[in-house]
Amino acid sequence: MAQARTQPSAPPVLEGREAPWPCWIDVDLDAIEANVRGLRAWIGPRVRLFAVVKAHAYGLGSEQVAKTVLAAGADGLAVARVREGIRLRRYGVRAPILLLTAFAPSEALALARHGLTPTVTLPEQVPLLIEAAQQVGVRLPVHVKVDTGLHRYGAGRDEALALALAVARSPHLRLEGFYTHFATADALDLTFAREQLATFRAACDELARQGVRPPVLHAANSAGTLALPEAHADLVRVGLAVYGYRATQAVPTPFPLQPAVTLWARIARLLDLPAGCTVGYGRTYRTTRPMRAALLTIGYADGLPGSHYRGGYVLLHGQRADLIGRISMDQCVVDITHCPQTRVGDCAVVLGQQGDDLIALDEFAERSGSIPHEALTSLGARVPRLYWRGGQVVASASLAAEERVDGDL
């Protein structure tokens, strides 16, 4: 994994005071901008870049991320839900927004009104979009997705060709794109990914023989963008790499990725534990020696998986502090016997870099049998996100609809 840039090893001070939250996420907008610029240089000027900001921009907050990636050179955005696209429009985003997954019949009119670009995989979707386009008075751009082996959202080859022709022939729709999605572009063996790409190109050739040439052909996700330059086509759809991460160690990094996330938690209590003392629910952990411990105000509701009590740790004063006992919904306990300088109010890094040590996202995810995408999107909605640019906090947000407290940013 590419190394993160140096992160603060002490609690950040905001406007002369320490951050007031039990736990919070620092989002480095400079890192996101650098990743977009690196991707732009990698794919070249003729390939468009759509940043995938579904699921609240992978849990980081879609408003600030969308503004940052577009300012850094992204040509458009991609989402998975109609409401995600509408939210971005209400934020003031005017760039193209591609809807990657299915829409309900009742959502067709809304997506047309808000200028979203739907992906079509079923014949019955075409008349719905035609009717919506007529009501809004627009010629609606549409992408058709062909399934080349992922067997998820996508039409079989013959169905996709028929759909593309139907869209192209409609005076109310415009066949803007034709695409597919890789199943194994993050694997060490790229044989199947290349087979998918060949299948996709054959389908594109067949469309061309029938006189239909969509202006935008695309296949590459983050892994495909980094590992398969031959798959760049007209557009790449990049999610995880925008945030500074890769899906697996097999994915190459042709330029340095800069991780954008640091997850912090504050110490609320210090404990002196005798030998033979149990910690946490179920009494699953028993001390074998006298121990100094600290209570951290973060739990599984905040994105620290409960499975991390087996071998997990945090970074405190640049050192590793092991998690002990089961992780609770809002709290956990760590061994700080080797950190005698620790005080109530100190902060630990749960994910990210502190000093010379790093808890990388892939390591964090693997400990719970997960993947980086899931780990990011599982960060708790109630955890405040602080957006940093140029060493300063420029915005803050929570994904949960919580009441603000006097003095909050």
Show Cβ contacts of residue 324 under 8 Å, excluding neighbours closer than 6 positions. Answer: 279, 280, 285, 287, 291, 293, 309, 333, 334, 335
Q: Does domain 261-397 have CATH number 3.40.50.300?
A: no
Catalytic residue flag (residue 54): yes
CA atoms of 319 and 95, how far apart (whole Å)? 44
CA atoms of 360 and 3, how far apart (whole Å)? 9
CATH architecture of 30-243: Alpha-Beta Barrel (3.20)
What is the model's pLDDT at position 274?
97
Where are the chain's structural domains?
Answer: 30-243, 261-397
What is the model's pLDDT at position 64?
96
CA atoms of 359 and 136, how far apart (whole Å)? 49
91, 153, 245, 281: the catalytic one is 281
CA atoms of 374 and 46, how far apart (whole Å)? 32
CA atoms of 149 and 196, how far apart (whole Å)? 7
DSSP class of residue 6 equals P
Catalytic residue flag (residue 145): no
Which run of H or of E encompasses 266? strand 261-273
What is the model's pLDDT at position 401?
59
54, 243, 285, 300: the catalytic one is 54
What is the model's pLDDT at position 20?
78
Both tokens assigned to 56:
């609240």
What's the pTM? Answer: 0.92
Written as tens digits, the pLDDT of the chain (409 aa) is 333 344 444 445 444 446 678 999 999 999 999 999 999 999 999 999 999 999 999 999 999 999 999 999 999 999 999 999 999 999 999 999 999 999 999 999 999 999 999 999 999 999 999 999 999 999 999 999 999 999 999 999 999 999 999 999 999 999 999 999 999 999 999 999 999 999 999 999 999 999 999 999 999 999 999 999 999 999 999 999 999 999 999 999 999 999 999 999 999 999 999 999 999 999 999 999 999 999 999 999 999 999 999 899 999 998 999 999 999 999 999 999 999 999 999 999 999 999 899 999 999 999 999 999 999 999 999 999 999 999 999 999 988 755 444 445 4
Both tokens assigned to 258:
């800069």
Q: Which long-range contacts (CB under 8 A, 24 or more apart) does 184-188 make?
A: 185/220, 185/221, 185/223, 185/224, 185/227, 185/228, 185/231, 185/251, 186/223, 186/227, 186/246, 186/247, 186/248, 186/250, 186/251, 187/248, 187/250, 188/250
What is the model's pLDDT at position 105?
96
CA atoms of 303 and 314, how far apart (whole Å)? 13
